[in-house]
Amino acid sequence: MHFAPYGFRATYHHLCLSARIPKDLERDPSSLVRAVQELHHARELRLADERDYANRRRAEKARGMRQAESSGSWRDTQSGTGHVAYCPHPTFHPSEPLPVVVERVLSSSVPPGEAPASTCRVCGRHDNTIAWHDGAYQLHQLCRNCGVSLGVQRADAPDPMPAARQDRQWKDIWTLRNESPRSRPG
């Protein structure tokens, strides 16, 4: 199972910061071990949740229920991407350890009658979003506190300036030149 709870870029950035991975890996080779351990612990939580869900669905199907009922869990709003808490902006993501965030999201539920996108499953903030254009074709509603995407809609047109800025920023992150902390888009 591929596992990038915030999406590849934001998860990579989070792990680089939390494990303190230096640009020169020979200075601290154990930083990679720290990053893998953090990711592994979070993945174990997700795999346990997947097993529970599969067992529950098997039992429901045996009782004749062919479609999963809405339970208010994170699965109801997931679009099949496998991201537990998708953060489209690579440097704007939760700062807590991945296992803490994953466990919080997996155990969260939205009360009946409440709009799922109005409450962040990671930090619990309610009606606290900012709009962020990805530079291509999507406009995300991000939690203002932790950067998790609470909703997405198609943007009118691509915007080349943010797209170029984000491409440059990603190259810096990927090559470990971006040692900047977690930051809000701006």
pLDDT at residue 184 tops 70 = no
Residue-wise pLDDT for 13-66, tens only, equals 999 999 999 888 899 999 999 999 999 999 999 999 889 888 988 998 999 988
pTM score over 0.85: no
pLDDT at 77: 61
CA angle 29, 103, 36 (to 5 degrees): 15
Q: In terms of Cα–Cα distance, which of 144, 163, 148, 159 is closest to 77?
A: 148
pLDDT at 181: 62
Structure tokens at 83: 């991201």
Answer for the pair 89, 142: CB distance below 8 angstroms, yes or no. yes
Residue-wise pLDDT for 111-140, tens only, equals 555 555 678 889 988 888 898 888 778 888
* 81 vs 68: CA distance, rounded Å: 18
pLDDT at residue 103 tops 90 = yes
Residue whose entry in the numeric block shows the structure tokens 């990603």: 170
pLDDT at 61: 92
Q: Which amino acid is at 73?
A: S
For the chain, the domains span 8-174
Q: Indicate the average pLDDT of the chain.
A: 84
* 144 vs 71: CA distance, rounded Å: 26
- Provide the β-strand partners of residue 131: 141
